[in-house]
Structures are given as C-alpha cells and as structure tokens.
Chain A
Amino acid sequence: MAALRDGDFAALQILLKAPSKDAVRQLCQECFSSPPAALGPLAQRACPGLAVSAQEAEQLVSALHNLTRHVVYRGFTRAEDILCLFPENFHQNLKNLLTKIILENTSAWRNEAQASQISLPRLVDMDWRVDIKTSSDSIARMAVPTCLLQLKIQEDAALCGNNPVVSALTVELSKETLDTMLEGLGRIRDQLSAVANK
C-alpha cells in the first residue's frame, strides 16, 4: 500500500519538464495502473520523453504512483482534499493540473482497484445449452431434457499478473438439479433485497 514519502513531492516537480499536459495525464494513468514491480521499466520508457536522468525518472514515477494510489486509497473526491496533500511551496500550476487529472480519473481508478483486489476466482463468462437426450447405448429411445452449462472462471488476477488463467467448468444439470440451483439463487436475491432495503 503506497504511502506518501517526503521526497515524493520534490520528485513530482520533475513533471515541469513534461512536453505537454497530455503527457502528464498519460503518465499519471500509467503510474496508477502499474504494479510496484513494473515501475522500473515504466520509468525507463518515460525517460526520453521527459529529458531527465534515469534516476530522476524513477523517483518521479514512484512518486506519481504513490500519490495516485494514496488518493484512491483515501477515497478523496473533492479538490480541497487533494490540494491539501501538497506542501506550501509546491508549484501552483502543476498542483492544480495534477489535482484536476486525479479528479478526472479517480472514479475509474477506484473501479480498477476493486477489480484487481484479492478475491476468489471470478466468473467471467457463462454459456448454456438445452439438449434432449434421445438415445444411448443402454436405452434405445428416451426424451430427457438436460442443460449444459459452461462457466469461464478467471483465477485471481493478483496471482497471475498479466497472464490471467481462465478455466472452463462444464456442468450438466437435470431439471431437478436446475431447480435446486434456482432455489439457492432465489434466496441470494431475497437477501440482496433485504440488505438493500436497510
């Protein structure tokens, strides 16, 4: 979890060398989304665009990562809360620009954080089909309706990094088992309504 450190704001002022406001915006987004381990390579990519030394680029990228993550962690939605974070002698225009960029992105960033937080594997897709079994090697004629369900489940994003593993679970359900499932799901729905009404 990123905490703001003393040297961070000094490092942020390196942004004054950025070629444009869009470049700053782009860098903010990349720094937020990058996990700590990928900050090094990100700094190397940012270096030429900023015309700074490798070390300065690293400090900047790290500072920007900490700042953006800190704001999302605290859940700030007002400009005042973000402006307060900066020290008194910080460059005014840069402070305002950064605050503006952060406010624009904070909602999307929060969603991104929620989507990548630790969790059990997540359901990413579901497909189904209803078949009728008409015959088999043991029975010549029958008409048994049956459901085939395929769930695509993605393993914990945090564990897989950039290559999430998606596994497919294919399950057959009969009318009876489908009813069991529906009953369970109905109870979840009832609970959700009860919670929503509190």
Chain B
Amino acid sequence: AADKIRLIPQDFFAELCEQIIQHLNHKIPGINTAELCQRIQTSGVDINIGDLAKIANTLSFLFSTAARNNLSTEELVTTLGSGVSTLPKHAVQVIRHVWNEQGKAIAVSEEEGNMATVGQFVDMKWKLGVAMSSDTCRSLKYPYVTVTLTVADPSGQITDKSFEMTIPQFKNFFRQFKEMASVLETV
C-alpha cells in the first residue's frame, strides 16, 4: 500500500485523511472513495479504486488503533517510521498534521457505534420512469421505479447500489417499510 500512497498528490491525501478522521468521529456517514478516486484520476494519476480502498482501510485502522491507545502525535509518527514499508515524507507530514488537529477528538465513542458487519444506510435517490418502447415491444408504456441506495460499508466506504422495481413491487416495498417503522415504534 505504501507504494500506491506515493502516487497520491498531497492535497488529495490530506482530503482522504480528513474524511477518515471525520468518519471515525461520526461527523460524516462514510468515506466517499469512489468520488475521490475519480477526481484523483482526472488529475492524471493512475490509481484504481481497489488500491484507494485498501489505502483508506489501512489509514482508518491506523487512526482508530492510535485513538484507542491514546497515542500522541510523536508516538504515532514514531510508529509509522518503524513500519515495514516507509511512507513518503509528504504522507507522514499530512498524517502528523491531521492527527495534531483532530486525532485527540476521536473519543472511544460513547454511542452505540457501528457493529459493523453490515452496511449503514446513508441516502436514497429515486426516479419514476415509463419505458415507452424497446427492441422487443414497440409500444410498451411500462412504468417502473429506479432506486439508488447509498450505503457505507463496514469499513466506512460509501458505495451506491441501483436497482429497478415494477409498480407492484414498489407498493410491496413501501408497505414493508411502513411495517418496519411501526415495529420500531413499538419495541
């Protein structure tokens, strides 16, 4: 992972670290790896989303372990230095800065936290459409609902999942959610 970190320009690396810390602080629901990756690629750097995800995971683990052990900035930097692969200097600088500013604030949080075996729901976007025609049926007029769920996976990384429903499926979907809500009310 250290080799790939080398590729990431300093400002993007700083942004990644920021997002990770904010996620650990429960200030944001997750880390927008896909979006960040796209911007890094647009700036001309050849990195794929898998590599960026691994880096994000590693950094997240680093920061959360450091928080649990109450490491000071110097202790953290020393730990980094003694690691098997050496990080590029600019990366260490960013980590030092980010930890100094926000690291102490990562309380071993007194909240229910994320029992992290499943994704956390972040957002839902939807579209109601009517398919007018297709190669199989010239005149369709087939209504359908498209939904995109934004989910933060257990490591905090945000992904989108899109799918379609027929209208009867949608009605069932809605009914199930209303039932879930009413059960949540009563427990």
Name A residues whose Cβ lies closer than 8 Å to a Cβ of B: 1, 69, 72-75, 110, 113-114, 116-123, 126, 128, 130, 132-133, 136, 138-139, 142, 144-145, 147-149, 151, 153, 169-173, 175, 177-182, 184-189, 191-192, 195
- CB <8 Å contact, B121 and A181: yes
- CB <8 Å contact, B177 and A153: no
CB distance from B43 to the nearest CB of A (A): 30
- Nearest chain-B residue to A150 (Cβ)? B118
CB distance from B90 to the nearest CB of A (A): 34
Which of B109, B163, B184 meets A175, CB within 8 Å? Answer: B184
Closest 4 CB pairs of A and B: A113-B136, A1-B135, A170-B118, A177-B121
- CB <8 Å contact, B120 and A73: no
- CB <8 Å contact, A185 and B177: yes
CB distance from B154 to the nearest CB of A (A): 10
**Assuming the A-B contacts A185-B173, A185-B174, are A114 and B187 also in contact, with contact meaning beta carbons closer than 8 angstroms in the complex?**
no
CB distance from A192 to the nearest CB of B (A): 7
Which of B110, B124, B162 meets A138, CB within 8 Å? Answer: B110
**Assuming the A-B contacts A113-B136, A139-B110, are A120 and B146 also in contact, with contact meaning beta carbons closer than 8 angstroms in the complex?**
yes
Interface size of B by CB at 8 A reads: 52
- CB <8 Å contact, B163 and A153: yes
Which of A116, A142, A145, A171 meets B120, CB within 8 Å? Answer: A171
Q: In this assembly, does B79 line the interface, its C-beta being within 8 Å of a C-beta of chain A?
A: no
- CB <8 Å contact, A171 and B151: yes
With A and B bound together, what is the CA distance between A116 and B135 in angstroms? 11
With A and B bound together, what is the CA distance between A24 and B53 in angstroms? 57
CB distance from A134 to the nearest CB of B (A): 10
Stretch at the interface among B3-11, B32-40, B164-172: B164-172
Stretch at the interface among B13-21, B98-106, B137-145: B137-145
Return chain A residues, CB-CB under 8 Å to B109.
138
Return chain B residues, CB-CB under 8 Å to A191.
128
| Cβ proximity bits B108-127 to A, threshold 8 Å, 1 near / 0 not | 11111111001111111110
